[in-house]
Structure 1
Amino acid sequence: MSDRSSCDQWRLRRQQAWLYPRASTSLCLLQQVICSAKSQPGTCDESSDIRIHFGISDKEKAAMKNRGKHISKALKSLGLNARKVPVVSVLVSGGGLRAAIACQGVLSELSHVGLLDMVTYIAGVSGSTWCMSSLYSQSDGWKDLEKAENELRRRLKEDSWDLSVSEDKLCEAAERDDYSLTDFWSYSVVYYLTKELLDTCLSCASEESEMGTVPYPIFATIDHYLKFGGKEKILNAWFEFTPDWAGYSTLGSSTPGAYVSTTHCGSEFEGGKLIKQKPERDFSYLRGLCGSALADMNTNLITIWDNIWKFIFGSDTQEKMPITDPEGVMKAIKDQLFNLISSFVINGHCSGDSLKNLQCIMTGNKQFSDAETLTEQMMGHLHEASPHQQRQFILDLLEKTFQPYLDKKSSSFSSFVKKTCHCILHWKWGTTNNFLYKYGDSGDKFLTDQKNMYLMDAGLAINSAYPLVLPPVRNTEIILSFDFSEGDPFETIKATEKYCKACCIPFPPVDDFKLDQEAKAPSDFYIFEGENAPVVMHFPLFNKVNCGSEEVIEHRHKTYSTFHFRNYSDTEVSQLLEDSKANVRNNKDRIFMNICKLAEAIS
């Protein structure tokens, strides 16, 4: 098969997967794709700066070989002389700051009991990537996980968040042409929650990963266009970041992957060629990219709006605002502006009631005379204004409302506020240059016609990165699934089984009815096994073993809510670490037994 036909096959698979994301379609296409993979493994165009690829990168292959040697030594030190070592993938789910802390506890305990040396991959979603990025950002982050845990507790206890530092990072980010709400989320909300800014990049972990001294990391996101491009959930939406490359992951025998070097992700491409290189985004940005779905749209909107207000007027509006507000005028304006924005973003049109309330509040106040005039004009033309005109009305109103205070700030700060407001009203997240832009002539609007792609929190699809470790190209034989989700502790398992059926990927059978019966008070360990499928060992965070009762489990969920935007006490952090550690400690023998069972011992 020619290089071109191989590329065309890939584009056809992507396009058909969008139009017909069903298991029957995957089965119909299976034989064609296998033939394509066998005839043209690897890259489809050596002159291109991107890769259409069945399998993993050469650097990841080297990392797996070296990691295998490391695991073999670990097994030998425990008395097992293995000819072949199983590929063990640790999955750490999303769950905001709760997940970040619990992930640290799990990794610390895996290290303490000697199991971390047997782990090949660590794949994270959302809040767990906050912990992963902290460890991979330091050259010695994995050498002493107890030290990393103590450092986490210190940061959270001392509240090392600085409003001015956050403001500087946001002003800098707003200078980029791909600035989006992800930047705002990264350098304000995630920084506030984790008390940490990381200016190193994922590619910096490439050398250590390739040496095999640490588990190979996979950071999960999803493509907004593919995820929401049709009525059904899209199978091909997963977009991975590794130290070596980033892109749409290989789905095994059903769809090849499309990748670009991690250092070039975000740079400008056209027709498969790099035309303008841009600096790789740092770990702080990657945290926001992976972990921006802490709540629904309205909760995210409230959080962003409150933070913008804080940046403009200071952390304490009553004390730091340049005007007195004895009657709560600014508070009322803030609330009505939020109602106006929320109505437009969620419902697609302005709220007439909010405009009337704003006009009433602003009437007679010289500070807001221009804003009041504009509000009156908006009310007069609201019913005939298009969504585009209404959006511009709101942007003009925000500018006139904030202008007296922005005049006292720097031009870069004013630009940051205006850009953020623009992103809110377009609800723009994860904007990055599409490396597949104008690649080939398939006409697939979701992949090649868009100059930008929009990456989002993978928790919006499946709150655990099963799709990135299950395809045969990564040969995963054991999955240790540490689930920090809020709500149903088995949702990721059930969703993954459905996903795998649609993608023709082997996965153990799951009894939904039985799991639903145990959801409110789960055990701390479940094992799922099936023919030609990896062994899945699942560990719900809060369970009847480490919590003792359904009442305590419920209390834990309330204490460590995903929508948690206040500081945890040191006691709360310690409890969460202990709960997550207990799940490893109490099941370490079961984990080790299954690893030994799959290892091929030399007789």
Structure 2
Amino acid sequence: MCNEGCLIADLELTFTVKGSHEGSQKILLDSDPSLRIIVFHCVINEQTRLDVTLPEELADGNETVKSGVLSFPLNSLPVQKEIIVEEEAGVVNKYNNRKIIANLSGDLDVRLGFNLCMEEQEFLRKRKKYVAAALKKILHLEEDLKEHEVPVVAITTTGGGTRSLTAMYGSLLGLQKLNLLDCISYIGGLSGTTWTMANLYEDANWSQKYLEDAIKEARKQVTKSKICCFSLDCLKYYYEDLKERTKEGHNTSFIDLWGLVIESMLHDKKDEHRLSDQRQTVDNGQNPLPIYVAINLKSGYSAQAFREWLEFTPYEVGLLKYGASIRAEHFGSEFFMGRLVKRLSETRICYMQGMWSSIFSIDVMYVWNLAADSEDFWCRWTRDRVTDIAEEPFLSMNPYEVDTCLFTPSSVLSSALRDVLTGRPTIAQYPNFIRGFQMHSKYLESEGFSTWKDTVIDSFPNKLMETADDELSLVDTGFFINTSYPPLLRSKREVDVILHLNYSGGSQTLPLDQIAKYISGQGIPFPKIEISEEDRENLKECYVFEDADSPQAPTVLFFPLVNDTFKKYKAPGVERTPEEMAEGKVDVSTILSPFTTREVCFSEENFDKLVKLTDYNVLNNEKLIIRALRLAVARRKQRKY
């Protein structure tokens, strides 16, 4: 890393460092001295040079003196020392004594390493006090658990749009009723479940309050008509907010418009909430730490051939493979060689949700038209209008005359929306915060990198770290596997138990089968997934997978989205009366289900049914959860620390 500060007087000069973040810069020497300092960020090697270009012509009376280029190899300059450079003969004296200051000092703004950040480590220490107290009560322990005896329990989810948003509320409610919510240290989300998480984490003490209130608010938003999201006022708001975001320096795309639609679907007003704001919800360990997940794609490669996992917490945003992380509030700003070179305003959470759930943006035009219940809505706002004047009574003319039409060009607003909507890119681009780094050959052998070495070009570091990758191309993890497992399987998090809450459409076992195969291929300890063909045809509410021979492998409790015993029982052990049997008819599996991924609006009855179903499925498997927690405590006590 090199910061070249150059201070020169009495002339306008151009400075160039090829391969640097800045490229070329100019100094106006008649300006304030404090403005005559420029900084370059670049890699110093034998080829790196600083070129100082004088104007093309310098006038001295009637004589014209041709300018030249002063060139200095940067690796020859002493660090943090002022260098005086005398000009060549032929250039008038007033251009002498150029000062160049080289500086290599200062810490990087990108944190490198596979350890957890200090804030997360502190969070875990505080969270374990909640977990230990809850486990002592639930497991009826006689003594308090020591810190190293407290297991780390995590929730992983799958996406599914409004279905997963709604179903997750029911699952969390069930855990809260069993006093198990305080046993959870991490919640991993993607796609539709990030909508639930972002809503909950606006409240600094959400898990310490009865969730019924949060569910009532979610019910209001899910059941409201979504046509309001496409009103004229909303369209103007989308346009103005995207324009302002562009002025701030952010890239904008269809994904950002999708994020604004999500905001309108789930809120009644503009949501100023940002990821870093969620620190207040975890700084005292009072709630589980939220981890949002996305993947980075590479141009020219499919998601199956190339993807890199990103995790987003209130503290940091990190690339798992490289062990590179930045502060959450700096995500979206520009970095070069680990330095923050251009700080932009922190992105609002709705734009993040658009990126985390971008797989649904493919169908947002379907939602757009559905909300208006007609193609007329699309025609009205994004196409030029051609009206048959003969159809307008006050403009009707002699019927024997030639037909006349009134042509009304589309407005600036509708044209802008049309440009965004018809392009429909499904990738959100954010500045690549590892841009400018060079990978050491031995880095490929590091434990952290090897764990996530899973793409077709991982053996070619020059391709991995191409300088052309100025942007991260981020999408919903559903483009690869509909899961939020990877961050929870980082060895430093030492997760003992994972509650897999599955809300995907179609095959309920597919995400679990896919992630188990993927994780095993990465050499990460994980239990073997064995479900009989008979069970796959008629899934139960909960399955437990564990590996007694591998203490490092977490115990996985798999909760598929099924309606099994809920058909006959309204609560664990409480059968339905004949009059209540209709309430147990919840279709979550057929093509006629009211909970398909494309549905953005549920009826109040269906919302209540889905919440009650997922709530019940957790409550009805209390014994399996308690058994897994008891086993986790026993394993922790057997470990040597």
In the other structure, the counterpart of 1:404 is 409
Q: 1:315, 1:292 → 2: CA distance?
A: 21
Matching of residue 85 in structure 1 with residue 150 in structure 2: yes
TM-score (norm 1): 0.70
Matching of residue 431 in structure 1 with residue 444 in structure 2: no
Could you give the per-residue CA deviations for residues 165-200 of structure 1, whole angstroms, max 9, x where no partner exists?
353134312341400111111112563367675321
In the other structure, the counterpart of 2:580 is none
In the other structure, the counterpart of 1:474 is 493
Q: 2:169, 2:558 → 1: CA distance?
A: 17
In the other structure, the counterpart of 1:509 is 528
1:202 to partner: Cα distance: 1.3
1:105 to partner: Cα distance: 1.0
In the other structure, the counterpart of 1:203 is 276
Matching of residue 173 in structure 1 with residue 190 in structure 2: no
Q: 2:567, 2:318 → 1: CA distance?
A: 40
Matching of residue 545 in structure 1 with residue 565 in structure 2: yes
In the other structure, the counterpart of 1:192 is 265
Q: 1:593, 1:543 → 2: CA distance?
A: 23
Q: 1:275, 1:422 → 2: CA distance?
A: 34
Greater C-alpha Rg: 2
Alignment of 1:123-142 (within 5 A): 123-142=188-207
SS of the aligned residue for 1:174 comes to: helix
Matching residue within 544, 549, 556 for 1:536: 556
1:223 to partner: Cα distance: 0.7
> Contact between 1:102 and 1:580, CA under 8 Å: does it hold in 2?
yes
Matching residue within 243, 257, 275 for 2:314: 243
Q: 2:377, 2:366 → 1: CA distance?
A: 17
SS of the aligned residue for 1:492 comes to: helix
Give structure 1 stretches of 5+ with no counterpart: 1-44, 250-254, 329-363, 369-402
Matching of residue 49 in structure 1 with residue 109 in structure 2: yes
Could you give the per-residue CA deviations for residues 427-451 of structure 1, whole angstroms, max 9, x where no partner exists?
2521111112222376435664312
SS of the aligned residue for 2:433 comes to: coil
User: Kindly tell me: are residues 467 and 110 of structure 1, through their superposed partners in 2, closer, same or farther at Cα, counting changes over 3 Å?
Assistant: same
Deviates more, 1:488-497 or 1:301-310: 301-310
Q: 1:515, 1:553 → 2: CA distance?
A: 21
Matching residue within 334, 348, 365 for 1:282: 348
> Contact between 1:185 and 1:304, CA under 8 Å: does it hold in 2?
no
Alignment of 1:185-334 (within 5 A): 185-189=258-262, 191-192=264-265, 198-225=271-298, 229=301, 232-234=304-306, 237-249=308-320, 255-294=321-360, 297=362, 299-300=363-364, 302-303=366-367, 317=380, 324=387
1:503 to partner: Cα distance: 1.1
Q: 1:57, 1:109 → 2: CA distance?
A: 32
Matching of residue 94 in structure 1 with residue 169 in structure 2: no
Q: 1:265, 1:239 → 2: CA distance?
A: 12
User: Kindly tell me: are residues 404 and 316 of structure 1, through their superposed partners in 2, closer, same or farther at Cα, counting changes over 3 Å?
Assistant: closer
Q: 2:540, 2:284 → 1: CA distance?
A: 37
> Contact between 2:384 and 2:409, CA under 8 Å: does it hold in 1?
no
User: Kindly tell me: are residues 46 and 106 of structure 1, through their superposed partners in 2, closer, same or farther at Cα, counting changes over 3 Å?
Assistant: farther
Could you give the per-residue CA deviations for residues 224-262 of structure 1, whole angstroms, max 9, x where no partner exists?
228x7358444x52111100100212xxxxx44221111
SS of the aligned residue for 2:298 comes to: helix
State the Cα RMSD in Å: 3.5
Give structure 2 stretches of 5+ with no counterpart: 1-104, 392-402, 440-460, 569-583
Could you give the per-residue CA deviations for residues 304-348 of structure 1, whole angstroms, max 9, x where no partner exists?
6888999x9868959x997657999xxxxxxxxxxxxxxxxxxxx
SS of the aligned residue for 1:210 comes to: coil
Q: 1:556, 1:150 → 2: CA distance?
A: 28
Instruction: Count residues with an aligned counterpart.
Output: 470
In the other structure, the counterpart of 1:351 is none
Matching of residue 114 in structure 1 with residue 186 in structure 2: no
1:77 to partner: Cα distance: 3.3
SS of the aligned residue for 2:540 comes to: coil
Q: 2:518, 2:202 → 1: CA distance?
A: 32
SS of the aligned residue for 2:199 comes to: helix
In the other structure, the counterpart of 1:148 is 214
Deviates more, 1:556-565 or 1:482-491: 556-565
Q: 1:507, 1:466 → 2: CA distance?
A: 11
In the other structure, the counterpart of 1:591 is 625
> Contact between 1:166 and 1:188, CA under 8 Å: does it hold in 2?
no
User: Kindly tell me: are residues 453 and 557 of structure 1, through their superposed partners in 2, closer, same or farther at Cα, counting changes over 3 Å?
Assistant: farther
Percent identical: 25
> Contact between 1:91 and 1:481, CA under 8 Å: does it hold in 2?
yes
Matching residue within 499, 504, 512 for 1:493: 512
Q: 1:554, 1:133 → 2: CA distance?
A: 27
Could you give the per-residue CA deviations for residues 195-220 of structure 1, whole angstroms, max 9, x where no partner exists?
67532111111133131100010001
> Contact between 2:390 and 2:404, CA under 8 Å: does it hold in 1?
no
> Contact between 1:436 and 1:448, CA under 8 Å: does it hold in 2?
no
> Contact between 1:129 and 1:219, CA under 8 Å: does it hold in 2?
yes
User: Kindly tell me: are residues 167 and 443 of structure 1, through their superposed partners in 2, closer, same or farther at Cα, counting changes over 3 Å?
Assistant: farther
Q: 1:545, 1:82 → 2: CA distance?
A: 36
> Contact between 2:388 and 2:406, CA under 8 Å: does it hold in 1?
no
The residue identity in structure 1 corresponding to 2:346 is E
Matching residue within 134, 137, 158 for 1:74: 134
> Contact between 2:329 and 2:346, CA under 8 Å: does it hold in 1?
yes
Could you give the per-residue CA deviations for residues 254-296 of structure 1, whole angstroms, max 9, x where no partner exists?
x44221111000001122211111111112112111112137x
> Contact between 1:483 and 1:539, CA under 8 Å: does it hold in 2?
yes
Alignment of 1:345-356 (within 5 A): none
TM-score (norm 2): 0.66
Q: 1:325, 1:534 → 2: CA distance?
A: 69
User: Kindly tell me: are residues 510 and 114 of structure 1, through their superposed partners in 2, closer, same or farther at Cα, counting changes over 3 Å?
Assistant: same
Q: 2:372, 2:605 → 1: CA distance?
A: 31
> Contact between 2:359 and 2:426, CA under 8 Å: does it hold in 1?
no
User: Kindly tell me: are residues 241 and 416 of structure 1, through their superposed partners in 2, closer, same or farther at Cα, counting changes over 3 Å?
Assistant: farther
Q: 1:70, 1:572 → 2: CA distance?
A: 35
In the other structure, the counterpart of 2:594 is 559
Q: 1:118, 1:473 → 2: CA distance?
A: 19
Q: 1:202, 1:191 → 2: CA distance?
A: 18
User: Kindly tell me: are residues 541 and 168 of structure 1, through their superposed partners in 2, closer, same or farther at Cα, counting changes over 3 Å?
Assistant: same
SS of the aligned residue for 1:260 comes to: strand
User: Kindly tell me: are residues 100 and 544 of structure 1, through their superposed partners in 2, closer, same or farther at Cα, counting changes over 3 Å?
Assistant: same
Q: 1:503, 1:68 → 2: CA distance?
A: 29
User: Kindly tell me: are residues 497 and 472 of structure 1, through their superposed partners in 2, closer, same or farther at Cα, counting changes over 3 Å?
Assistant: same
Q: 1:515, 1:66 → 2: CA distance?
A: 41
* Structure with the larger strand share: 2
Q: 1:321, 1:142 → 2: CA distance?
A: 51
Matching residue within 561, 568, 577 for 2:602: 568
> Contact between 1:308 and 1:417, CA under 8 Å: does it hold in 2?
no
Could you give the per-residue CA deviations for residues 536-555 of structure 1, whole angstroms, max 9, x where no partner exists?
00001123223469995534
The residue identity in structure 1 corresponding to 2:236 is E
Alignment of 1:442-481 (within 5 A): 443-444=462-463, 448-481=467-500
